[in-house]
A and B are shown apart, each in its own frame.
Chain A
Amino acid sequence: MIKKFFSNTLFIKLSIGFATLIFLFAGYFISKLLFDLSVFSEFIFNFFLERFSYNLAYLASSIIGALGIISFVGLVLLIGSWVERRVIARFQIRVGPNRVGPFGLLQPLADAIKLMQKEVLVPDIADKLLFLIPPVAIFLPAILAWGPIPWGPNMSYLDINVGILYVFAVSSLTVPIIFFAGWSSMNHYALLGSMRTVAMMVSYEIPVSLSLLSVALVTGTLNFNEIVMWQSNNSIWLGLFIPFALFTFFFASTAEINRTPNDIAEAESEIVAGYHIEYSGMKAGLFMAVELGNAVLLGALISSLFLNGWFLFGIENLVPPYIIFITKTVFIYLLLIWLRATFPRFRLDQLMNFAWKTLIPASIIHFFVVAIEVSIISNFSEIPYLIVLFTVINISLVVLLAYLWGKIFHVQQYQPEKIQPRFAASIGGLEAMKEVSSID
């Protein structure tokens, strides 16, 4: 009887529900405890201040903070690769890594250990110094760009007034590093990959900067914290107010960070691995890790610039704000994984055409539209709900644009009514083909 009760599905469900409740309560108390992490940083700073001079204390606490960010990024790299592989496996009707550790969680660690054990081959004709620097150097921009990210109130490591400019400048460092990696390998595939990367990154930095310019124009600041606060003060997400900038930033950034559908720099089916074809062992692993870290960084940038950072309809008062921020980041990252699992890849010339003939002119026009809207809002500040009105207008404009793109340009380009193959009943080579064609 008792045994039967314990094997009852109702009992199992009840116990799972009970465990969830306990987990929620525990999570609530822990989150209350860890609500504001600035307590810790103040404690660390004061701890050093009591013992050393101000400058030393400042230096020591900033090193500890930097270590915190680096360890977080390292954790993201480890968990992110597991998440990516598992999620893509679900898309592809597979199971994914599930052998090492619970649910395969230790798989990235095992991969890293395996990669470290492998020999790092340096090609004989490679430019040795230039060849060995990039895998390490590429980590610099990937980690530095995390600096001004606002995790929560009073929770950004680098609260500077030129946050956007800083991220933009630091992420541009990737271009020469990738170019050196491809160039010094003395491999034609690597050279092709690095040429593609440079061409694409230089082209797509313009739409990225134009979309960020509209963000700066609307909020009147380049500081990440102030951008987030502007969104919550005006109770509007920038992604809703200027959705075109969000789209431009997202698409152009996928080109910048080499993600599908714009991963032409390391197009596996064409140029095998692109610029890092000659790297082996952990050096190749570093390139891949940085790529993944950049994807998560893109999520963090989008969630702070366009998705209102750590605010979420008042929930930020219940759970720690940084949890909300990380959730939004992970959401964008999952979106990137979804794209990767779904889409084929564009060709280089198609991407260039899209950037120079469509995206950049459209971004410039969009920039002027936003400028007009902002000037109207600032000149007629006594009219209420002007922002909401412009939000509706902007969203409907984007929807209209998408509709027109899908209906008019798409139809003109591809003629879907002729996509279906014909069925031939008669047989007989070219003569029969001519008959079939004349019937049509």
Chain B
Amino acid sequence: MATEDTYELNIGPQHPSTHGVFRIKVAMNGETIEDLDMIVGYLHRSMEKLSEERTFTQNIPFTDRADYLAAMSNNLGYCLAIEKIADVIPPQRATVLRVIFAELQRIASHAMANGTLVSDAGAWQTPLMYMFREREKILDLFEMTCGARLTTNYMRIGGVAFEPPDEFYAQLNSLLGELPDRVDEYMEMLSENEIFIARTKNVGIITPEDAINASLSGPALRGSGVPWDLRKAEPYCGYEDYDFEIPVGNIGDSYDRFMVRLFEVKESVKIIKQALNILPKGMHKTQIPLALRPEPDQVYFRTEGPRGELGYFVITDGGPAPYRMHIRAPSFINLSLLKKLATGSSLPDAVVTLGSIDIVVGEIDR
């Protein structure tokens, strides 16, 4: 690591812009980063091992805590994986509700990601607070439906836990009405702000080849211009029926990743509006056995989480608990490119790059 010309700097585990307990050991030469080591594991809660001791339903709360900014998306990925291995078919209403909540969660997560990115670029929390305004309304909707805001534990194997209350739809509609305006407001405020452009444009450029070689996914991949989205490529939950598009960036810098997230919010609004139109009546949950015992088998099911390809690999041995469960965490794999991006850049650029990749440490350490 540190040589004669460099000195060692520990960014983290307690640092405002590591977004959690994540540590980067940096060898610095003046303000330039010469080398870095990423050290993870400070938030390790042994989720994958613990889940081998609990039944399939009891494992759902763990998925909340993996990516704590996108609990709904994690719930959804896990439940779809178990439904595939246990041949459970959720009712149509549950599927559409799942789409609505997963897209709401995507909006909330992107708001958080973009807000913290601008904070990392040095804005004194104003954009963060603005974006929290929308996130707050979405969390209110979650609270109204399932009683929790962050760790929702809402999806179940074979449906969703609760029916949304009646006032949910009115609030959701008013939120959908104002969200596109809000996105325009952020674009007005930030995407032509000269300081923000100076800080993010041409910073942390990921080429498409690099992105694919490093197995990136989500906005980090699409920011490089690669149109790859599992909602289109391998549709689940009936995403093939919805009309939406995939925003992709131009050169793959931090600015493009920021803009891709902003545009994805607009596309998510489109999806939720269509989902509300086709929301059928009926049950929100099927009956499944109390102790689900799928045949011995293995499944890898991947969904498009807010941060990228969120995969659940489950092996069953005929018992009530998974024999092995592995989470393919998009943050963890997206983070792997940071060393290449940050080496040779300055410290502020590395911080912005890290913010634009949008990691959640709960998901990295699991």
Q: Which residues of A contact B (CB under 8 A)?
A: 88, 91-94, 188-189, 192, 260-261, 263-264, 267-272, 340-350, 410, 414, 416, 418-430, 432-433, 436-437
Q: List 21 A-B contacts (CB under 8 A).
A: A93-B130, A188-B7, A261-B122, A263-B122, A264-B348, A267-B122, A269-B351, A270-B122, A270-B351, A271-B347, A343-B193, A344-B195, A349-B346, A419-B255, A421-B263, A423-B245, A423-B263, A429-B212, A430-B209, A430-B226, A432-B228
Is B256 at the interface (CB under 8 A from chain A)?
Answer: yes
Nearest Cβ in chain B — how far from A77, in angstroms? 19
Q: A271-B347, A419-B191, A424-B227 are in contact. List 8 more A-B contacts (CB 8 A).
A: A88-B124, A188-B8, A189-B9, A343-B123, A344-B121, A347-B349, A427-B229, A430-B208
A345 touches B123 (CB 8 A): yes
Distance between A128 CB and nearest chain B CB, rounded to angstroms: 22
A272 to B348 CA separation, bound complex (whole angstroms): 11
Query: Most chain-B CB neighbours within 10 Å: which of A260, A264, A414, A421?
Result: A421
Chain B positions near chain A (C-beta within 8 angstroms): 7-9, 15-17, 28, 31, 118-126, 129-130, 133, 191-199, 201, 208-209, 212, 225-229, 232-233, 245-250, 255-256, 259-260, 263, 346-349, 351
B199 touches A347 (CB 8 A): yes
Bound state CA distance, A316 and B7, in angstroms? Answer: 59
Cβ contact of A419, chosen from B120, B133, B208, B259, cutoff 8 A? B259
User: Which residues of the partner chain A approach B260 to less than 8 Å between Cβ atoms?
Assistant: 421
Q: Is the beta-carbon distance between A344 and B118 smaller than 8 angstroms?
A: yes
Q: Taking the nearest CB of chain A, how far is it from the CB of B12, in angstroms? A: 10
Q: Are B250 and A341 in contact (CB under 8 A)?
A: no
B270 CB to nearest A CB, Å = 12
Cβ contact within 8 Å between A421 and B249 = yes
Tell me, rounded to whole Å, the shortest Cβ–Cβ distance linking B247 to chain A: 4
- Enumerate chain A residues within 8 angstroms of B255, measured Cβ to Cβ: 419
A420 contact set on B, CB distance < 8 A: 259
Contact (Cβ within 8 A) B125 A92: yes
The 9 nearest A-B residue pairs measured at CB = A345-B122, A424-B227, A92-B129, A423-B245, A344-B121, A344-B123, A427-B232, A269-B17, A344-B122
How far, in whole Å, are A410 and B233 apart by their CA atoms in the complex?
Answer: 39
Among candidates A340, A344, A418, residue contacting B199 with C-beta atoms closer than 8 Å: A344
B225 and A437 contact, CB distance less than 8 A: yes
Cβ A422 vs Cβ B195 within 8 A: no
Q: Which of B15, B129, B212, B348 is within 8 Å of A348, CB to CB? A: B348
**Given that A346-B198, A348-B31, A420-B259 are known contacts, is A269 also in contact with B121, CB under 8 Å in the complex?**
yes
CB <8 Å contact, A188 and B9:
yes
Cβ-defined contact, B227 with A416, below 8 A: no
Residue of A91, A269, A272, A436 with most partner-chain B CB within 10 A: A269
